[in-house]
Structure 1
Amino acid sequence: MSIVIHSQITAAVVENADAPQRDERRKALLGVRGLRKRHGDRLLFDIDVLEIATHSAYVLTGMNGAGKSTLLRVLGGLERAEIDSLRFAGEDVLRVHPYPRALRRAIVYVHQHPILFSTSVADNIGYGLVVRGFAPIAVEAIVEEAMAWAGVAHLADTDPAKLSGGEKQRVALARARVLQPRLLLLDEPTANLDGAAREQVLALIPTMVDAGSSVVIACHDRDLINLPGVQRLKLRDGHLEHR
């Protein structure tokens, strides 16, 4: 099973990277200059340039404590940092905290330990759509498709508290997917999952890229890091290396 799924992931990423419209699709989505984050007197990281292309996948690696999760939260607009300039989809972002509404809608962050409401799987997946004003009939159709995609349709009415770690991650990915993010930030999505659950989550990630999102994944997972077509960013000693 592992070999088959890993082959599917590789094929999806490589096929996406080699599409005829590659030049158009891989334009800069996010560009950040002069990104600095301090914890008190400590400078956690000082990044000269960070660029994320459209329709692309990245893994963000580094030692524990290097600031990977913090960097994802900064990029998601969830945490303050010093930023000299930020561009998104070719437009200058003049207010970096809080992000303007359009940027908040375009970027979705998924925590390593997703917070799910004590309602049902279906309600959790559809929550963002309801907040955005989608009609109930549209929410129902989109959620049904997302649950099928994530392999959790049989859990539609289940309280998330009863889910396994892998099921929670798949629900969180489905909840992100329905919002059609242009930039998806995933913090250790396969950490602490057993073999089968890990494989199921791994198989979903490249389909997000294929659907149009750029994905940045903070991880230590060698299967993600070594995938052909996935670019590597490494935080080392407060600086970002493009590898």
Structure 2
Amino acid sequence: MRKRHGERLLFEIERLDIAAASAYVLTGVNGAGKSTLLRMLAGLERCDACRIVFEGRSMPLHPYPAALRRAIGFVHQHPIMFSTSVAHNIAYGLLARGERRQAVAPAVEEAMRWAGVAHLRDTHPARLSGGEKQRVALARARVLQPRLLLLDEPTANLDGPAREQVIALIPTLLERGGSVVMACHDRDLIGLPGIQRLKLREGRLEVR
């Protein structure tokens, strides 16, 4: 997996193994390419000559495979919300997949309870705090039951209580057998039990 910015080689990764029901933190100095790597895995940034093995099948990352669109979720550092309600934002992905509304409603309710935002179900996203938006974004991704969830700086710019609420949700993302990779600098996230560490250093990926 290789990425260039003009003539500059940002990184060249020979191999990245992600196990089922496992959590990883991706660290590195600013500009090392952490967010870029997550965006490439999510199909949000082009990855030339990159291949991935998923469920025993080798496939290119460009054009991005449909199987990975259903299997991989991405939560941005600054989540974008639709100008509707919290409940509709969480339901959107399921409705876009064509799921029946009768099945969507209980799934959304469960996701809101999990994220601690059920009391905000009818709230316009513009009225949410940063921590509330991040928890809604996590619920919106989790309700799709991705095999792999990519989180870009999930606690950045959050105050103490909001940060602690988000950190508390991270271990529970593994309960359904999915995996999580988080780009972050947060020492408390890095120090969570069972978290494996990946580090981008000078264009190479180190497994710790």
Q: Is the 8 A contact 2:48 2:61 kept in 1?
A: no
C-alpha separation in 1, matches of 2:148 and 2:9:
26
C-alpha separation in 2, matches of 1:201 and 1:62:
21
Report how many residues are paired: 208
Partner of 2:179: 214
C-alpha separation in 1, matches of 2:70 and 2:98:
13
Q: How far off its partner does 1:64 sit?
A: 0.5
Q: Which runs of 5+ in 1 are unaligned?
A: 1-34
Which residue identity does 1:83 align to in structure 2? A
Partner of 2:204: 239
| 1:59 alignment partner, one of 8, 18, 25 | 25
Q: Is the 8 A contact 2:26 2:197 kept in 1?
A: yes
C-alpha separation in 2, matches of 1:141 and 1:64:
40
If the length of structure 1 is used for normalisation, what is the TM-score? 0.84
TM alignment of 1:168-207, pairs within 5 A = 168-207=133-172
C-alpha separation in 1, matches of 2:68 and 2:15:
19
- Please give the per-residue CA displacement for 1:65-91, whole angstroms capped at 9, x wherever unaligned: 110000000111111123353201221
- Please give the per-residue CA displacement for 1:140-198, whole angstroms capped at 9, x wherever unaligned: 11101110110101100111011000000000000001100000000000011011101
C-alpha separation in 2, matches of 1:170 and 1:85:
32
- Please give the per-residue CA displacement for 1:35-62, whole angstroms capped at 9, x wherever unaligned: 1001111110011111111110000000
C-alpha separation in 2, matches of 1:190 and 1:84:
29
The alignment status of 1:110 with 2:75, answered yes or no, reads: yes
The alignment status of 1:41 with 2:25, answered yes or no, reads: no
Q: Is the 8 A contact 1:190 1:221 kept in 2?
A: yes
The alignment status of 1:144 with 2:109, answered yes or no, reads: yes
C-alpha separation in 2, matches of 1:82 and 1:98:
9
Q: Is the 8 A contact 1:233 1:240 kept in 2?
A: yes
Partner of 1:99: 64
- Please give the per-residue CA displacement for 1:116-153, whole angstroms capped at 9, x wherever unaligned: 10000000000000001111121111101110110101
Q: Which moved more, 1:222-231 or 1:124-133?
A: 222-231
Partner of 1:29: none
Which residue identity does 2:52 align to in structure 1? L
Partner of 1:123: 88
If the length of structure 2 is used for normalisation, what is the TM-score? 0.97
Q: Secondary structure at the match of 1:82?
A: coil
C-alpha separation in 1, matches of 2:96 and 2:50:
32
The alignment status of 1:77 with 2:43, answered yes or no, reads: yes
RMSD: 1.0
Which residue identity does 2:96 align to in structure 1? V
Q: Which runs of 5+ in 2 are unaligned?
A: none
Which residue identity does 1:113 align to in structure 2? H
Partner of 1:31: none
Identical residues among aligned pairs (%): 73
Which residue identity does 1:123 align to in structure 2? H
Which residue identity does 1:239 align to in structure 2? R
